[in-house]
């Protein structure tokens, strides 16, 4: 076990980015046409990912979420899932996806041992997806959600990033859709990660505003008690029992309970979504470091962790995009799609 970091937080959960590529161009995440991609030769192989995840498990990690970029673009992802699921100690093996390729892969991923999926769904209107993410494949996402649910990858969670003037008039509709489909929606406050999105505070719809708007349409809302305090979403219940979550990373950050590390597709261990740099495990691993040596480096990094990036960002008075485009081009690991959302 790793013990706790400088703020008393254990290492329990790991987000593993399996690719920095994506088949959407969401305006809030990856709006540019072309990016500086991680060199192919530096992308972790499945064997390398499994080896590192196993070491992380020995450091206390019990929850792994595969992400990206778009993880379903990684060729033969089910094989990686099968390899990870064969390990002894994961309580939770989940995947975050935009859903475009999910209908085709859900059953195989389930058979391989994936426990559940979270699907990004920001709008129920195909024309908005076209304008905002440059894709006309809205129907594929909806189909993916249904196929995943029916394949047993539930409860399927839906992630909706709420942005003023784009989809903030759809909160109630997204909640109704989730209820009808037997899913649970989590409304995410727009975050100032990366930089190409030209983030502005005016575009953020805060947790408080979301709750006010939802209460005026849906009636009484009460918090759900007894959830895991380290989970990013705060959960609520409507009078009819419908549950939903809000991830208030921007207006009410929850760094104090953050037990998540991140592994980039090229093997850098990040202690925080906002971390400037990470521990280069790839170079160490390919230079022949033993499992024990890697474990000690991971543990030492975690024990020194003081990161509370979202809280520090919320203390910035004149808050704008985190990085300039030139800074992102010089170091693609600063991009959200590279570090894994
Ligand atoms: N491609 C996958 C997907 O779309 O779910 C996984 C990667 S994506 C980076 C992971 C999550 O990060 C998505 O739910 C996405 O909506 C969220 N995300 C990306 N940029 C964000 C931002 N600026 N603020 C809040 N959430 C963001």
Task: Give the closest residue to 278 by CA, choosing from 302, 254, 295.
Answer: 302
Question: What is the predicted pLDDT for the residue at 64?
Answer: 98
Ligand 1 pocket mutation pick from 314, 338, 341 by most atoms within 8 angstroms of CB = 341
**Cα dihedral 34→40→46→49 (10° resolution):** -80
**C-alpha 339 to ligand 1 mean position (Å):** 11
**C-alpha 341 to ligand 1 mean position (Å):** 5
Question: What is the predicted pLDDT for the residue at 241?
Answer: 94
User: What are the tens digits of pLDDT across the range 269-324?
Assistant: 999 999 989 999 999 999 999 999 999 999 999 999 999 999 998 888 777 778 77
Question: What is the predicted pLDDT for the residue at 194?
Answer: 75
Residue by residue, DSSP assigns 65-83 as: EEESS-GGGSTTHHHHHHH
For β-strands 13-17 and 63-67, DSSP reports them as parallel
Question: What is the predicted pLDDT for the residue at 75?
Answer: 97
Q: Whose CA is nearest to atom 12 of ligand 1?
A: 341
**pLDDT-flagged residues of the chain (< 50):** none
Report the nearest atom of ligand 1 relative to the CA of 189: 25
Report the nearest atom of ligand 1 relative to the CA of 194: 23
- Ligand 1: residues within 6 Å at CB? 22, 28-29, 67-68, 70, 96-98, 120, 159, 161, 188, 190-191, 193, 197, 336-337, 341
Question: What is the predicted pLDDT for the residue at 152?
Answer: 98
Q: Whose CA is nearest to atom 10 of ligand 1?
A: 341
What are the DSSP E strand ranges found in the chain?
Answer: 13-17, 63-67, 92-97, 116-120, 157-162, 184-189, 221-223, 234-238, 243-247, 260-263, 268-270, 279-280
- Global model pTM greater than 0.75: yes
């Amino acid at each position: 076990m790793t013990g706790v970091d400088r703020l008393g937080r254990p290492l329990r959960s790991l987000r593993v980015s399996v690719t920095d590529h994506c088949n959407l161009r969401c305006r809030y995440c990856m709006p540019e046409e072309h990016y500086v991609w991680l060199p192919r030769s530096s992308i972790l192989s499945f064997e390398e990912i499994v080896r590192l995840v196993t070491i992380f498990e020995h450091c206390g990690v019990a929850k792994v979420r595969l992400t990206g970029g778009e993880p379903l673009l990684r060729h033969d992802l089910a094989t990686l899932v099968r390899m990870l699921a064969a390990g002894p100690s994961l309580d939770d093996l989940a995947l975050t996806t935009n859903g475009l390729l999910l209908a085709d892969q859900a059953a195989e991923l389930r058979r391989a041992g994936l426990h559940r999926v979270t699907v990004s769904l920001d709008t129920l209107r195909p024309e908005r997806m076209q304008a905002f993410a440059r894709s006309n494949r809205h129907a594929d996402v909806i189909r993916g959600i249904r196929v995943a649910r029916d394949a047993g990858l539930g409860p399927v969670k839906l992630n909706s990033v709420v942005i003023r003037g784009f989809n903030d008039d759809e909160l109630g509709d997204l909640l109704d859709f989730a209820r009808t489909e037997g899913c649970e929606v989590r409304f995410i406050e727009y975050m100032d990660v990366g930089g190409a999105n030209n983030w502005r505070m005016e575009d953020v719809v805060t947790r408080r505003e979301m709750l006010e708007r939802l209460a005026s349409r849906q009636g009484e809302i009460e918090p759900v008690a007894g959830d895991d305090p380290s989970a990013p979403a705060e959960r609520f219940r409507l009078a009819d029992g419908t549950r939903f979550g809000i991830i208030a990373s921007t207006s009410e950050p929850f760094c104090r309970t953050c037990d998540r590390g991140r592994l980039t597709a090229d093997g850098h261990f990040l202690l925080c979504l906002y971390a400037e740099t990470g521990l280069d495990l790839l170079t160490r691993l390919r230079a022949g470091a033993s499992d024990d040596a890697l474990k000690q480096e991971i543990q030492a990094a975690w024990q020194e962790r003081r990161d509370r990036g979202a809280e520090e960002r919320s203390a910035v008075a004149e808050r704008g995009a985190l990085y300039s485009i030139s800074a992102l081009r010089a170091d693609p690991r600063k991009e959200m799609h590279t570090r894994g959302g």
